[in-house]
Structure 1
Amino acid sequence: MKAVINTLYEAKLAELKEKIDAESIPVQLTIVTVGDDPASKVYVRNKVRLFEALELPCHHIILPEEGTTQADLDGLAEKADHPILFQLPLPNGLEAPDLPAAVDVDGFGSEALGQLVLGQNPVLPCTVQAAIDIVEAHCGEYSFPGLKVAILGRSNIVGKPLAIELINRQSTVSSFNSRSDLAAVDWNQFDVIVVATGFHGTLDNTQFIEGQLIIDVGINRIDGKLVGDIKHQDGHLSAAAITPVPGGVGRLTCLNVLGNAVKLCQSK
């Protein structure tokens, strides 16, 4: 799957470059972080580097953990006239402002999610778009109708919006969460399994069969290593196609921040 991800990434990046240059789209992005979360620093650095590589403005606003209020974040959101994102997680009970869809590059706000339910959304949440891209690349662009998909996780960032988008595409979707009896599920019945629980070992690679596509969204640090939500049993080579961690979904998610920014700036 790593080769598929790399090919997909390079193709999408080239397409975005061509669109930006051909249409002279004035793309820019603002990223707001609060505090000094190590994981957030890595994610933000990757996004900033991508914009810098294309010589596009990427404004990074860093607010201190102590003293930053919800009003500070809401004020930045109200002034936003181009794509903006508030890097999660936010400390001290702070919440990302509910952005209007026109500047909501992450697609997390109530307006963007409402448009998603109606099938009228200008952009998808970046990780959701990454999952859709992987399914298209592996199964084919026209494979969604009737595709049997299992989604583990019900977050507002991945699980719920991905389920809605797949339903919009006429896939058959089964949703599982922390209260589901995962041991009783026959995973072999699904064409695609998306694991986005944030917990390493939710499933393991011995549970999959040839022909399945397994999309591992999780990023966990175990014994100093980055691993996904799927545990890879020593010595077992799965017959299924499983996205790598790192270098899989996360890489495409970062690229889709750029892709969403292009779409939002293009629509202005």
Structure 2
Amino acid sequence: MKSVINTIYESKIEELKSKITTLSVPVQLTIVTVGDDPASKVYVRNKIRLFDELGLECNHLTLAEETTVQADLDALAANADHPILFQLPLPNGLTAPDLPADIDVDGFGSESLGQLVLGQNTVLPCTVQATIDIISAHCGEHNFAGLKVAVVGRSNIVGKPLAIELINRQSTVASFNSRSDLAAVDWNKYDVIVVATGAHGILDNSQFIEGQLIIDVGINRVDGKLVGDIKHHHGMVTAASITPVPGGVGRLTCLHVLGNAVKLIECSQG
């Protein structure tokens, strides 16, 4: 699967480079972080590196965890005049402001999600778009109709919007979560299984069969190593195609932060 991820990445990055040259205004992004979360630092560093590689402006604003209040975040959102994202998780009960769709590069705001439900969205949440890319590469861009997909996870960031987007594409979607009786599910009847719960070992590679595409969205640290939600039994070779962690969905997710920023600027130009 790594070669598939690499092919998707290279194709998308070249497409974005071409689009950027046609824009009449520069691509800009502001990333806001609060505190010093180690995982957030990695994600932000990867996003900034990508922008730097293409000579684009990515402003990173770090706020102190001890003194930042909700009004500070809301003020930044209210005054934003270009794409902005608030890096999750936020500490101390803070929440990301509900951004208007025209600057909502993450696609998490109520306006963006409402547009998604109606099939009128400009951007998809970045991990959702990454997942769609992988399914397209494996199953064919025009083969979503009738595709049987199980989505394990119900977050507003991945599970819910992914299920909606798949329904928009006429796939047959089953939704599960960490409270579902997963042991009783016949996983063999699904063409694609997306696992996005943030719980390592919620499924394992012995449950899958040849021909299936398994997309592991989870990022967990176990015994000092980054692993996904799917447990891999040592010595067991699984016939199903399973995305790697790290180097799988996350790599494409980072790319789509840039992709969404470009799309929002394209739309602002009419």
Q: Pick the TM interval, shorter chain.
A: over 0.9
Q: 1:13 & 1:179 partners in 2: Cα distance?
A: 38
The gaps in structure 1 that reach 5 residues or longer are: none
Correspondence list, 1:98-247, <5 A: 98-247=98-247
TM-score, normalised relative to structure 2: 0.98
Q: Give 1:179 deviation, angstroms.
A: 1.8
Contact preservation (8 Å) 1:204, 1:232: yes
Q: Give 1:178 deviation, angstroms.
A: 1.9
Where does residue 96 of structure 1 map in the other structure?
96
- Secondary structure of residue in 2 paired with 1:22: coil
Q: 1:142 & 1:108 partners in 2: Cα distance?
A: 26
Q: 1:220 & 1:50 partners in 2: Cα distance?
A: 23
Q: 1:266 & 1:4 partners in 2: Cα distance?
A: 28
Q: 2:112 & 2:23 partners in 1: Cα distance?
A: 25
- Secondary structure of residue in 1 paired with 2:260: helix
Which residue identity lines up with residue 157 of structure 1 in the other structure? I
Where does residue 39 of structure 1 map in the other structure?
39
Contact preservation (8 Å) 1:200, 1:230: yes
- Secondary structure of residue in 2 paired with 1:201: coil
Q: 1:238 & 1:197 partners in 2: Cα distance?
A: 21
Q: 2:22 & 2:86 partners in 1: Cα distance?
A: 30
Q: 1:221 & 1:157 partners in 2: Cα distance?
A: 20
Q: 1:226 & 1:93 partners in 2: Cα distance?
A: 26
- Secondary structure of residue in 2 paired with 1:267: helix
Contact preservation (8 Å) 1:214, 1:241: yes
Number of aligned residue pairs:
268
Q: 1:196 & 1:120 partners in 2: Cα distance?
A: 25
| Residues 49-88 of structure 1: CA deviation (Å, up to 9, x unaligned) | 0001001000000000001000000000000110000000
The ranges of structure 1 where at least 4 consecutive aligned residues each deviate by more than 3 angstroms after the TM superposition are: 22-25
Contact preservation (8 Å) 2:178, 2:202: no
| Residues 166-224 of structure 1: CA deviation (Å, up to 9, x unaligned) | 00000000000122100000000000000000000010111100100000000000001
Q: 1:194 & 1:205 partners in 2: Cα distance?
A: 13
The gaps in structure 2 that reach 5 residues or longer are: none
Q: 1:93 & 1:29 partners in 2: Cα distance?
A: 25
Structure 1 vs Structure 2 CA RMSD: 0.7
Contact preservation (8 Å) 1:25, 1:266: no
Contact preservation (8 Å) 2:213, 2:241: yes
Q: Give 1:23 deviation, angstroms.
A: 3.7
Which residue identity lines up with residue 92 of structure 2 in the other structure? N
1:75 aligns with 2:83: no
- Secondary structure of residue in 1 paired with 2:117: helix
Q: 1:229 & 1:100 partners in 2: Cα distance?
A: 32
Which residue identity lines up with residue 36 of structure 2 in the other structure? D
Which residue identity lines up with residue 146 of structure 1 in the other structure? G
Where does residue 11 of structure 2 map in the other structure?
11
Cα gap change, 1:23/1:71 in structure 2, threshold over 3 Å: closer, same or farther?
closer
| Residues 104-123 of structure 1: CA deviation (Å, up to 9, x unaligned) | 00000000000000000000
Contact preservation (8 Å) 1:25, 1:262: no
Contact preservation (8 Å) 1:192, 1:214: yes
- Secondary structure of residue in 2 paired with 1:160: helix
